[in-house]
């Protein structure tokens, strides 16, 4: 090329200068595990389905949700949402109302009649599920999606287990439960009612089942010995709540005392109020802080006029009254008697002291081990007996619907692997997206939306649902409060803040990639990424 | 969903895009609400391969400002550059990072050259707009006379000062924009009064306001939406305009390259760098502090202030700097209604 006088070099763009060679650290796009997902006992990809809901694509959100949990409308009502406890947004203003959005999606799916997509192929294997509670239904759903033929044998007359016979209607309307169960049955799952399995091996041999998942729950009320006079009325919580499903409602009287401090005690007391009791008093031997019941349920119960007697044990029950002894907590937090007594009027006493598992169906199953009244299972939910898996309340764990749903899913995957002659190994987990990983500056202030609740007056006399769903605008707002912890949400920050134009935008849904020819490794993209989806890794030199 | 027996909350407004209010873009908002920088069609006025240090605030600020101006003018513009980092790292002969017509003359005459370019465009009957740009040295010290003349004549030029608070290109010497107590090569952290003096101050944006020119603004690389809005607004006005952008310098300030935007953000949030707009000699708007911090939280991240935090206790000059912040907060009304 001819140059002008005194010019020896071509004019060129600096783009020929590959400044990427300066780099000692390289940015990389990563996925980190959002704390909600890490905390979810059902293993939901909460951040994932919220990202669809944020865009207003509710069906995609529901489909992503139900990949892990077939009961969103139930879950949106009865889950104790450990996801919200773990939510990073709690450190900014208040946790994202995950449960409320799930409630909304579940209801919308029922209203619109969305169905599960049946599996493309069927296997020739048959799996027996014992018990149509949350664990059994979840396992059946996942097994059916994997192509297996599933039969559920249920001892009771209707599906749901404790969701029907333990959780009151004002928390979970039965039409919601029935609709979500029906959708699972549409996948070809057969439920046989009033079929109590008493000899597992015989049932399996008879039906030609290749594997079994046991989830019979814990329906036997624990008793405590309480001296009682004649003509006293002592009931247990399981019996009271289950009989609410029948024609004859339990007769509890005007003054009802409930003994215990769990959620079941609250359910019974709130049910008693709705049945017309003037007084429903919960007697608990420890303090409010020590109470295992969840705070919001206690709040709702207090609003409805349920009374609580802390630090008290029942010493004697007579006709029309009980004697309680005051307790005091010792330095280890354990209640100790004080010798002070008090008399309360009571027409009936309901014991809500926990439940045991009916293990009679397991008699004679070789290899199966029982410990502390529950069945021992391995990390894959398999019992000591080959091909026999167990979950839900009959396996050792926290006894909630969500945990049971998680057990069902985990067991289904393990059963599928077992039937294929392998062992189920879950994939490696991403590193946790803790709050320190985020750049919270980029999140605008947006307070949580609260679901509307039923007026107190109607809560004392009817079994109408107390907590109602969000409407679309509030659900969308709530979904958009998600911080998307650990997962890129295409905010363009990395693309904007790079002083070297070394980030390439790939287009909607495609994310970004780095142009390592020019990236100098300054780390601005990583520190200005709101959600912690970029990591800096040392460059090998 | 609701009936009269349910106490429904009023639906919260969707004006908060919970993930988008402060980010560059957001997949959920309309294109118009995204920054120019979020667009794959941005002009990248300052393209890759330039020799600025890792995490350079000035390279970032210059691309933010010029891309916005190019969008506002339909790419019909010319930039005139003073000597300084921005000139040196973008145009080592014969190479350039600039993707627009660009002119460099001397350290001190960028405003005068721009005036001449604007006059030439007018004579030729062209609508081409002119921007002059430089660092704080080329603006507040060496180029000040030409700048003041450009203001006083109300020449049709937008002058943008990228303020990194010192002569960074030549080895971090003090300028008249260097803050009090900061260590530079010419104000070492030695003696009874280490670092830069607590002088009387020379805040050029206020001097520009005193010229009664049509538009003056300060901005920061930590608030892209605000910066782009101001540049676009300035390009919609004829006459002399001045924008000063705070652009942290990892090298000169002694901070990790990944902290550039964070430092710019903290400089605003503590009140040390007031972000405001003025039109025709009157201040018209100030950007409110969102999460107020003590100036200490900003200073302690930078090695140029390390001497203030030796021996386990804060040097009394930290309190003097805090007093400057407090005065800014009061003078410019930097607190929102909640905090004021």
Banded pLDDT at A453 (limits 50, 70, 90): confident
Q: Which among B16, B224, B256 has the least Cβ separation from residue A446?
A: B16
Measured CA to CA, the distance from residue B177 to residue B326 in angstroms comes to 19
List the single residue in A with minimal CA-CA distance to B43. A501
| DSSP label at residue B38 | G
B68 touches chain A (CB under 8 A): no
Give the integer Cα–Cα distance in Å for B233 and A225: 81
Residue A190 has pLDDT above 50, yes or no: yes
Any idea which fold B31-332 has?
Answer: Rossmann fold (3.40.50)
Predicted pLDDT at A104? 96
pLDDT confidence of residue B336: 80
Domain A226-355 falls under CATH 3.30.230.10:
no
pLDDT of residue A287: 93
Binary contact (B48, A468; C-beta < 8 A):
no
Phi, psi of A129 (to 5 degrees): -115, 130
ipTM value, please give it.
0.93
Q: Residue A123: left (phi > 0), alpha (psi -120 to 50), or beta?
A: beta
In the block, tokens 């049509």 appear at B214
SS3 B216: strand
Which of A12, A18, A444 is facing B21, going by the closest CB pair?
Answer: A444
Decide which of A55 and B244 is more confident.
Answer: B244
| Closest by Cα among B233, B236, B247 to B277 | B233
Write out the two tokens for A410. Answer: 């985990």
Q: pLDDT for A495-533, tens place per residue?
A: 999 999 999 999 999 999 999 999 999 999 999 999 999
Flag if A19 and B28 touch (Cβ within 8 Å).
no
Q: Tokens 């002059």 identify what position? A: B132
Q: Of residues A448 and B15, which shows the higher confidence score?
A: A448
pLDDT of A393? 95
C-beta of residue B286 within 8 angstroms of C-beta of residue B273: no
Say which CATH class A39-114+438-479 falls into.
Answer: mainly alpha
Average pLDDT, chain A: 93
Average pLDDT (A101-106) is 96
Which class is domain A126-219+358-419?
alpha beta
In 3D space, the residue among A481, A393, A381 whose CA is nearest the CA of residue A423 turns out to be A381
Question: φ and ψ at A465, to 5 degrees?
Answer: -65, 135
Q: How long a stretch of residues is chain B?
A: 340
Mutate to test the interface with B, among A95, A170, A500, A535 (most CBs of B within 10 A): A500
Provide, rounded to the nearest whole percent, the portion of chain A with pLDDT above 90: 79
Domain A39-114+438-479 matches domain A126-219+358-419 at the CATH topology level: no
DSSP structure class, residue A410: H
Q: Which residues of B touch A12 (CB under 8 A)?
A: 94-96
Instruction: Count other Cβ atoms within 10 Å, centred on residue B100.
Output: 18
Sole residue written with tokens 């350079």 = B56
Among B40, B93, B260, the residue with its CB nearest the CB of A524 is B260
A252 in the Ramachandran plot: left (φ > 0), alpha (ψ -120 to 50) or beta? alpha
Question: pLDDT at residue A460 above 80?
Answer: no
* Chosen CATH of A14-31+488-538 out of 3.30.420.40, 3.30.70.20, 3.90.650.10, 3.20.20.70: 3.30.70.20
Decide if B23 contacts A493 (C-beta within 8 A): yes
Tokens matching residue A527 = 């520190």
**Closest alpha carbon to A511 in A500, A525, A527:** A525
Q: Let me know the angle formed at the C-alpha of A321 by A320 and A326, rounded to the nearest 5 degrees.
A: 170
- The answer to whether residue A150 scores a pLDDT higher than 50 is yes
Residue with tokens 């363009």: A492
Classify residue A461 by its DSSP letter: T
**Structure tokens given for B134:** 């430089």
Name which of A104, A79, A88, A52 is nearest A472 in CA terms.
A104
What is the 8-class DSSP label of residue A448?
A: P
Contacts with B1 from chain A: Cβ below 8 Å: 468-471
Q: Verify whether the Cβ–Cβ distance A490 to B26 is below 8 Å.
A: yes
Q: pLDDT tens, position by position, for chain B (340 residues)?
A: 334 344 444 444 444 445 556 899 988 888 888 999 999 999 999 999 999 999 999 999 999 999 999 999 999 999 999 999 999 999 988 899 999 999 999 999 999 999 999 999 999 999 999 999 999 999 999 999 999 999 999 999 999 999 999 999 999 999 999 999 999 999 999 999 999 999 988 999 999 999 999 999 999 999 999 999 999 999 999 999 999 999 999 999 999 999 999 999 999 999 999 999 999 999 999 999 999 999 999 999 999 999 999 988 899 999 999 999 999 999 999 998 655 4
Contact across the interface for B37 and A483, Cβ inside 8 Å: no
Give the whole-angstrom CA distance, residue A221 versus residue A249.
19
**Structure tokens given for B272:** 């040390």
Q: Which of residues 515-534 of A touch B (CB under 8 A)?
A: 515, 517-518, 520-524, 526-528, 530
Q: Where are the beta strands (DSSP E) in chain B?
A: 77-81, 95-96, 102-104, 129-135, 158-163, 215-220, 241-246, 276-279, 282-286
Spatial distance between the Cα atoms of A503 and A521, rounded to a whole number of angstroms: 12
Of A512, A19, A523, the residue nearest B48 (C-alpha): A19
Q: What is the DSSP string of A1-28?
A: ----TT--S--EEGGGS-GGGG-SEEEE
Q: Are A409 and A142 in contact (CB under 8 A)?
A: yes
Q: What percent of chain A has pLDDT over 70?
A: 99
Look at B19 and A477 and tell me if their CB atoms are within 8 Å: no
Terminal-to-terminal C-alpha distance of chain A: 38
Spatial distance between the Cα atoms of B304 and B275, rounded to a whole number of angstroms:
23
Question: Where does the pLDDT of residue A9 fall: very low under 50, low under 70, confident under 90, or very high at 90 and above?
Answer: low
pLDDT of residue B1: 36
Distance, in Å, from the CA atom of A92 to the CA atom of A113, rounded to the nearest integer, reads 37
In sequence order, what are the residues at sequence separation of 6 or more whose Cβ sits closer than 8 angstroms to the Cβ of residue A390?
Answer: A213, A214, A215, A375, A377, A381, A383, A411
- Using pLDDT thresholds of 50, 70 and 90, give the confidence band for residue A1: low
DSSP secondary structure of A160-199:
-THHHHTS-TTTS-HHHHHHHHHHHHTTT-EEESS---S-
The residue behind tokens 């002399």 is: B240
- Report the largest interatomic distance among the alpha carbons of chain B, rounded to a whole angstrom: 76
Give every CB contact of residue A255 below 8 A, 6+ residues apart in sequence.
Answer: A277, A278, A279, A281, A344, A345, A346, A347, A348
Cα distance between residue A292 and residue A263, in whole Å: 7
A19 and B224: CB-CB below 8 Å? no
Across the A/B interface, how many CB contacts are shorter than 8 Å? 206
Answer yes or no: do A9 and B34 touch at CB < 8 A: no
- Closest to A176 in 3D by CA, of A397, A507, A464: A464
List the domain boundaries for chain B. Answer: 31-332
From CA A224, how far away is CA B315, in angstroms rounded?
A: 68
* Phi-psi domain of A274 (left: phi exceeds 0; alpha: psi -120 through 50; beta: other): alpha
pLDDT at A7: 64
pLDDT band at A92 (very low <50, low <70, confident <90, very high): confident
Distance, in Å, from the CA atom of A413 to the CA atom of A401, rounded to the nearest integer, reads: 19
* Residue boundaries of the structural domains of chain A: 14-31+488-538, 39-114+438-479, 126-219+358-419, 226-355
Query: What confidence score (pLDDT) does residue B307 get?
Result: 96
């Amino acid at each position: 090329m001819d140059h002008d006088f005194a010019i020896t070099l071509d004019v060129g763009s600096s783009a020929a200068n590959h400044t990427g060679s300066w780099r000692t650290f390289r940015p990389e796009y990563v996925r980190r595990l959002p704390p909600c997902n890490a905390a979810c006992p059902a293993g939901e990809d909460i951040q994932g389905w919220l990202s669809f809901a944020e865009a207003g694509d509710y069906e995609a959100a529901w489909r992503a949700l139900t990949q892990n949990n077939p009961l969103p409308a139930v879950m949106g009502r009865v889950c104790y949402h450990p996801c919200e406890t773990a939510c990073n947004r709690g450190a900014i203003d208040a946790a994202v109302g995950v449960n409320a959005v799930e409630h909304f999606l579940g209801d919308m799916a029922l209203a619109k009649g969305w169905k599960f997509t049946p599996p493309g192929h069927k296997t020739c294997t048959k799996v027996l599920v014992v018990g149509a509670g949350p664990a059994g239904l979840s396992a059946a759903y996942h097994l059916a999606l994997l192509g297996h033929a599933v039969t559920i044998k249920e001892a009771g007359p209707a599906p749901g287990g404790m969701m029907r016979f333990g959780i009151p209607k004002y928390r979970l309307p039965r039409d919601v439960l029935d609709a979500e169960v029906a959708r699972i049955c549409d996948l070809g799952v057969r439920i046989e009612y009033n079929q109590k399995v008493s000899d597992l091996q015989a049932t399996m041999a008879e039906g030609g089942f290749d594997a079994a998942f046991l989830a019979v729950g814990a329906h036997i009320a624990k008793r405590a010995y309480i001296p009682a006079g004649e003509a006293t009325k002592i009931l247990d919580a399981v019996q009271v709540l289950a009989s609410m499903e029948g024609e004859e409602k339990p007769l509890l009287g005007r003054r009802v005392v409930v003994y215990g401090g769990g959620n079941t005690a609250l359910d019974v007391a709130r049910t008693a109020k709705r049945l017309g009791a003037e007084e429903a008093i919960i007697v608990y031997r420890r303090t409010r802080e020590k109470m295992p019941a969840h705070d919001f349920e206690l709040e709702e119960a207090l609003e409805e006029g349920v009374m609580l007697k802390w630090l008290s044990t029942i010493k004697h029950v007579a006709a029309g009254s009980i004697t309680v002894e005051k307790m005091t907590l010792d330095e280890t937090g354990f209640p100790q008697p004080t010798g002070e007594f008090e008399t309360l009027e009571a027409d009936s006493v309901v014991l809500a002291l926990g439940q045991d598992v009916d293990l009679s169906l397991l008699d004679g199953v070789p290899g199966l081990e029982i410990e502390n009244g529950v069945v021992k299972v391995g990390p894959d939910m398999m019992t000591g007996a080959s091909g026999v898996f167990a979950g839900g309340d009959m396996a050792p764990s926290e006894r909630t619907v969500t945990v049971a749903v998680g057990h069902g899913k985990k067991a289904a995957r393990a059963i599928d692997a077992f039937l294929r002659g392998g062992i189920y190994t879950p994939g490696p987990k991403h590193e946790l997206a803790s709050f320190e990983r985020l750049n919270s500056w980029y999140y605008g202030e947006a307070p949580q939306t609260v679901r509307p609740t039923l007026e107190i007056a109607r809560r004392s006399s009817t079994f109408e649902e107390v907590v109602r769903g969000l409407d679309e605008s509030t659900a969308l707002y709530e979904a958009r409060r998600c911080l998307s912890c650990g997962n890129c949400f295409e905010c363009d920050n990395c693309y904007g803040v790079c002083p070297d134009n070394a980030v390439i935008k790939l287009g909607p849904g495609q994310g970004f990639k780095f142009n390592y020819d020019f990236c100098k490794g300054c780390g601005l993209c990583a520190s200005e990424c709101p959600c912690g989806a970029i990591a800096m890794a040392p460059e090998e030199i | 969903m609701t009936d009269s027996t349910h106490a429904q909350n009023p639906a919260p407004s969707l004006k908060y895009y919970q993930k988008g209010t402060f980010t560059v873009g957001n997949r959920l908002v309309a294109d118009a609400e995204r920054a120019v920088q979020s667009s794959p069609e941005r002009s990248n006025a300052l393209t890759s391969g330039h020799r600025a240090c890792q995490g350079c605030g000035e390279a970032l600020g210059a691309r933010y400002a010029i891309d916005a101006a190019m969008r506002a003018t339909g790419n019909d513009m010319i930039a005139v550059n003073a000597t300084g980092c921005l000139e040196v790292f973008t145009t080592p002969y014969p190479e350039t990072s600039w993707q627009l017509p660009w002119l460099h003359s001397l350290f001190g005459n960028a405003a005068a050259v721009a005036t001449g370019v604007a006059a030439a465009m007018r004579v030729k009957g062209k609508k081409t707009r002119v921007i002059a740009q430089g660092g704080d040295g080329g603006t507040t010290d060496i180029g000040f006379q030409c700048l003041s003349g450009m203001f006083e004549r109300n020449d049709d030029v937008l002058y943008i000062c990228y303020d990194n608070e010192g002569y960074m290109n030549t080895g971090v010497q003090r300028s008249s924009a260097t803050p009090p107590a900061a260590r530079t090569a010419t104000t070492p952290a030695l003696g009874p009064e280490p670092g830069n003096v607590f002088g009387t101050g020379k805040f050029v944006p206020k001097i520009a306001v005193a010229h009664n020119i049509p538009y003056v603004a300060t901005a920061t690389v930590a608030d892209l939406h605000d910066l782009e809005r101001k540049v676009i607004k300035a390009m919609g006005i004829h006459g002399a305009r001045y924008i000063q952008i705070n652009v942290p310098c990892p090298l000169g300030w002694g901070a990790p390259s990944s902290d550039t935007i964070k430092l710019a953000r903290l400089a605003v949030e503590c009140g040390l760098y007031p972000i405001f707009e003025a039109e025709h000699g009157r201040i018209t708007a100030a950007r409110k502090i969102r999460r107020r911090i003590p100036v200490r939280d900003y200073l302690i991240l930078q090695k140029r202030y390390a001497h203030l935090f030796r021996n386990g206790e804060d040097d009394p000059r930290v309190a003097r700097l805090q007093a400057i912040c407090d005065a800014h907060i009061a003078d410019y009304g930097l607190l929102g209604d909640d905090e004021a």
